Amino acid sequence: MPTINITATGDNIKKMRKAAGLTVKDLQNIFGFGTPQAIYKWQNGTALPTVDNLVVLATVFGCRIDDILVVNAAEVQKTA
């Protein structure tokens, strides 16, 4: 089963934010969050953005949601 690598996804969000020339405060304002804690949790790999927030991130970064998420595809082994 494929799984989302939450730590690598957080690293990806941080890299994409910086590449877009945005600060954490900028993202906080875009989302209308009262504090930046959610964004730090995403970047540190302790939480994933909701699907709605992933859509916004993809729009802000000019990419697809698939480009933000890092998925570990585990091989499915068949037993004989």
- Give tens-digit pLDDT for 22-68: 999 999 999 999 999 999 999 999 999 999 999 999 999 999 999 99
Give the span between the Cα atoms of 58 and 67, in whole angstroms: 8
This prediction's pTM: 0.88
Task: Please tell me the distance from the alpha carbon of residue 61 to that of residue 72, in angstroms, as a whole number.
Answer: 22
Closest CA to 27 of 12, 40, 10: 40
* Rounded-to-integer distance, Cα 25 and Cα 31, Å: 10
Contact 8, 78 (CB under 8 A): no
Q: How many residues can be counted in the chain?
A: 80
